[in-house]
Amino acid sequence: MWLAILSLTVLGTLLGLALGVAAKYFHVEGSPLAAEIEALMPGSNCGQCGFAGCPRAAAAIAEGSAPVTLCPPGGKALAKALAAKLGISIDLDAVVDRGPQVARVAEEICIGCCRCSKVCPTDAIVGAAKQIHNVIREACTGCGSCIDRCPTEALLLQTLPVTVQHWVWPKPAATPAALTA
Amino acid sequence: MRILEKILGRHPHWGVHPDDHKRPAADAPLRSLPLPEVLYVPLQQHVGNPARPVVLVGERVLKGDLIAEPNGNISAPVHAPTSGWISAIGEITAPHPSGLPQLAITITADGADAWCERLPVADPFALAPEEISRRTAAAGVVGLGGATFPAAVKFNLGRRLQVGTLIVNGGECEPYLSSDDRIMRDRAAEVVDGLRIVMHAIGAREALIGIEDNKPQAIAAMRAAAAAFGNVQLRVVPARYPMGSDKQLIQTLTGKEVPADARAAEVGVLVHNVSTCAAVHRALRRGEPLVERIVTLNGGALTRPGNVLAPIGTPVVDLLRFAGVSGRPARLVLGGPMMGIVLPHARVPIVKGASGILAFDAAEARTLTAGPCIRCGSCTRACPMGLLPLEMASRIGVGDLDSAASFGLSDCISCGCCAYVCPAHIPLVQFFSHAKGELSARERSRLRNDATRRLAEDRAARLAREAREKAAASARRKAERDAAKAAAEGGSRPLSMRIADTTSEAAT
């Protein structure tokens, strides 16, 4: 009987040690893909994609349940980067890039409640209690998080006009068939 | 013929040789435009940030007064091209193919054309090179060959990289244009003096003037003007488009090839246009800012083609009226026919970089419909940068811009040789312009994404810091309260201190 107890104890200890060592040396982090996708995303957690923040959206893209074109602030550039990361091909022409937008405060109806400045993911709204708020255009991403927070509807999104500096030559219209072949 | 030229080694293997159409406009003597009533001076006439207005509507200005100051490191000031008053600061149609609006200062001329106080320098060579850069920048001199890069920024770059050779670009390879030809014929002494000032500013040992062999009068005038200076040499280069492009001229004159994604200064040369040199001469010797330029008026729809000296901001319609338009021009082009831009209409002003206004008749403006690519390879032979236009265009056609970029799209100089020679009339260079614009839009979008991420991270850090500070403050208050309680339980404590404690707690 002692022999049986001893051999089982030794066997158990050895196997336990082997399992412990294996767990340490062959350790696998969770899927690294989601983290890599998250690193590409804007990280402002604005919620325009319908997910609660960029990490959730990244997880959804990684498991294939969301399209790579979901991020409006990221636009075409992000969609392209994500498609390259996942090795899929997308039609960039189908990505609706609404162009740059910024929020604007209608100063005559702003009551200085500070609700908008608290939710802004990039701290683009400045203002203090009972003071007129304002948007720092350079920092605003046009995510629209602040719009619904305003009790007096003083915030609105404005599309920035195309300027001479940002204008892009249109693609020549008729592409000959042989050229595209 | 081609083989013969190759054997003789006289002609470069790249480029095209279009009919130059420079005469009779180039041979007509230089005229001065009668002063227009209203001038529209755009705030951005250069590469870089738009200038910032420093005048108010209603203010009186003299010719040469500063009306907009540079904004940032790469920018240029704008000066009043005549005396008068500021009648508006607002948007006008930009001289740009998009036809989009652009900010401009409108000046109503008073007809006196009175100069402001000018500060000429008797001996620019006694000034420090930095001072020449400063004065050139203050005079708003930009590259007048068409690139409109602020000249002083280039001086500083040349000085920093210790450029040994200044190349003076008198190539003017674009057909129809002759403004550089005219300035070399009529103001050769100014050009040579200007280029010697530029040499002093960048610390160059020698200067090479490159002029195409189709301008014999300009060559003779410049040779006479430069004869007195041993370190200024004139080299006649074959007339071949795009000889006036800096990389091609450098290669022809010095044999050096500018590497991809590098600047000319990195191979020890700096290129300035002849008109830019003349503008530097005027800025230093006469203290005059850049407020006028020679503009070529040419094209089949004009009755009196030629070169005119016109103030910056002159509406194109005034120039056309001066040159006499027969019928309705089929197309208006700012710059040359190869690289110039089609103007949306004639109510746009001329800018510092406007070397010419071309009014084409219907025959010159005809556009041929594009056919399928026949894989002849003409575009590859014509490309002065050694690229494969047909390969790039077919990729851009299907939206694969990255693949086009891997074929060297960023090295394309948009000279248009490929589209010119294409027997199937495929608008190759238009594909490249589109792709370059789209790629830089993507780059802007990427930079914006990075900035957004940084801002979001800063906010997260701020929220964490605030939470930490709040916790620390409440812990401190709790400790104070406990200490006070312990002291109160201890008994003997003066009343005044207890009052002070409660007030401070109430305040927090």
Q: What is the CATH number of the domain that holds A82?
A: 1.10.15.40
What pLDDT score was predicted for residue B506?
45
DSSP A147: G
B69 in any annotated domain: yes
DSSP string, B11-72: S-SSSB------TTTTTSPPEEPPPPSEEEEES--SSSSPPEE---TT-EE-BT-EEEE--S
Task: Check if the beta carbon of residue B272 is closer than 8 Å to that of residue B151.
Answer: yes
A85 with A110, same domain? no
What percent of chain A is predicted at pLDDT more than 90? 29
B108 with B168, same domain? no
Q: Residue B276: name the closest of B244, B303, B306 by CA.
A: B244
**Window B:75-114, CB contacts with A under 8 Å:** 94, 96-98, 100, 102
B356 with B387, same domain? no
Q: Do B455 and A163 touch (CB under 8 A)?
A: no
Asked if the peptide bond before residue B372 counts as cis, ω within 30 degrees of 0, the response is no
Nearest to A77 among B373, B446, B455 (CB): B446
B372 with B399, same domain? yes
Task: Check if the beta carbon of residue B409 is closer than 8 Å to that of residue B392.
Answer: yes
E strands present in B347-503: 356-360
What pLDDT score was predicted for residue A175?
54
d(CA B439, CA B451): 18
In this prediction, residue A53 has a pLDDT band, given cuts at 50, 70 and 90, of confident
Q: Which 3-state string (H, E, C) describes B259-328?
A: CCCCCHHHHCEEEEEHHHHHHHHHHHHHCCCCCEEEEEEECCCECCCEEEEEECCCEHHHHHHHHCECCC
B168 with B24, same domain? yes
SS3 B180: helix
Chain A residues in contact with B439 by the CB 8 A cut-off are none
What pLDDT score was predicted for residue B505?
46
Would you tell me the crossing angle of helices B179-186 and B274-281 to the nearest 10 degrees?
Answer: 50
What pLDDT score was predicted for residue B450?
84
Domain final position from B287, B319, B337: B287
**Window B:409-448, CB contacts with A under 8 Å:** 424, 426-427, 430-431, 433-434, 436-438, 441-446, 448
A126 with A83, same domain? no
d(CA B440, CA B448): 12
Q: Considering only residues A46 and B493, tell me which one the structure prediction assigns the higher pLDDT.
A: A46
What is the arithmetic mean of pLDDT over A43-49?
A: 80
Residues in chain A: 181
d(CA B172, CA B276): 13
SS3 A98: coil
* Residue in the block written with tokens 């013969």: B4
Chain B residues in contact with A179 by the CB 8 A cut-off are 372-373, 393-394, 397, 426
pLDDT in tens, A16-35: 999 999 988 888 776 788 88
Q: How many domains does chain A have?
A: 2
Domain final position from B287, B316, B348: B287
Distances, alpha carbon B47 to alpha carbons A44, A162, B70, in Å = 33, 18, 12
A48 with A90, same domain? yes
d(CA B378, CA B374): 10
Nearest to B94 among A41, A75, A164 (CB): A164
B39 with B27, same domain? no
A112 with A148, same domain? yes
B455 in A contact zone (CB under 8 Å): yes
Q: Residue B138: name the closest of B184, B69, B83, B197 by CA.
A: B69
A59 in any annotated domain: yes
Chain B residues in contact with A163 by the CB 8 A cut-off are 100, 102
What pLDDT score was predicted for residue B478?
95
Helix (H) or strand (E) run with residue B224 in it: helix B216-226
d(CA B101, CA B459): 37
B373 with B475, same domain? yes
Domain containing residue B196: CATH number: 3.40.50.11540
A13 in any annotated domain: no
Q: How many domains does chain B have?
A: 3
d(CA B455, CA A53): 15
A74 with A117, same domain? no
Which residue numbers of A have CB closer than 8 Å to B's CBs?
Answer: 41-45, 73-78, 80-81, 91-93, 100, 120-124, 139, 141, 162-172, 174-181
What pLDDT score was predicted for residue A84?
85
Q: Residue A142: name the closest of A37, A70, A48, A43 by CA.
A: A48
DSSP string, B244-259: TSHHHHHHHHH---PP
d(CA B464, CA B120): 60
d(CA B334, CA B476): 72
d(CA B482, CA B502): 13
A11 in any annotated domain: no
Instruction: Count CB atoms within 10 A of the CB of residue B105.
Output: 26
Chain B residues in contact with A121 by the CB 8 A cut-off are 455-456, 459
Closest-CA distance of chain A to residue B372, Å: 5
pLDDT in tens, A59-79: 888 888 888 888 887 777 788
B373 with B342, same domain? no
Using the predicted structure, report yes or no on whether residue A177 has a pLDDT greater than 50: no
Instruction: Count CB atoms within 10 A of the CB of residue B170.
Output: 30
What pLDDT score was predicted for residue B491?
59
d(CA B350, CA B33): 13
Q: Residue B14: name the closest of B220, B245, B286, B354 by CA.
A: B245
A42 with A85, same domain? yes
Q: Do B399 and A92 touch (CB under 8 A)?
A: yes
Domain that holds residue B44: 35-118+329-364
What pLDDT score was predicted for residue A85?
84
What pLDDT score was predicted for residue A97?
65
**Radius of gyration over every alpha carbon of chain B, rounded to an integer in angstroms:** 30
Closest-CA distance of chain B to residue A91, Å: 9
B14 with B151, same domain? yes
Closest-CA distance of chain B to residue A104, Å: 18
Would you tell me the crossing angle of helices B151-160 and B188-202 to the nearest 10 degrees?
Answer: 40
B376 with B461, same domain? yes
B165 in any annotated domain: yes
| B317, two tokens | 């319609």
Chain B residues in contact with A170 by the CB 8 A cut-off are 434
pLDDT in tens, B203-262: 999 999 999 999 999 999 999 999 999 999 999 999 999 999 999 999 999 999 999 888
SS3 A170: coil
Q: Which residues of B384-411 are buried (b: 16+ CB within 10 A; e: fewer)?
A: bbebbbbebbbbbbebbbeebbebbbeb
Closest-CA distance of chain B to residue A24, Å: 33
E strands present in chain A: 101-105, 125-126, 134-135, 155-159
B387 with B428, same domain? yes
Q: Residue B209: name the closest of B254, B176, B242, B177 by CA.
A: B254
- Provide the CB-side half-sphere exposure for B389 (13 A, CA): 32
- Determine the Cα angle at B384 with ends B380 and B390, to 5°: 25
DSSP string, A32-60: HHHHHHHHHS------TTSSSSHHHHHHH
Q: Using CB atoms within 10 A of its CB, is residue B110 exposed (0-12), middle (13-18) or buried (19+)? A: middle
Task: Check if the beta carbon of residue B351 is closer than 8 Å to that of residue B95.
Answer: yes
B130 with B219, same domain? yes
Q: Residue B232: name the closest of B223, B245, B241 by CA.
A: B223
Domain that holds residue A111: 101-159
Residues 6+ apart with CB under 8 A from A34: A55, A58, A59, A61, A62, A63
Task: Check if the beta carbon of residue B307 is closer than 8 Å to that of residue B350.
Answer: no
A176 in any annotated domain: no
B224 with B187, same domain? yes
d(CA A142, CA B507): 39
**Radius of gyration over every alpha carbon of chain A, rounded to an integer in angstroms:** 27
What percent of chain A is predicted at pLDDT more than 70? 91
Residues in chain B predicted with pLDDT less than 50, given as ranges, are 1, 497-498, 500, 502-508
Question: Does the ipTM exceed 0.90?
Answer: no
A54 in any annotated domain: yes
A122 in any annotated domain: yes
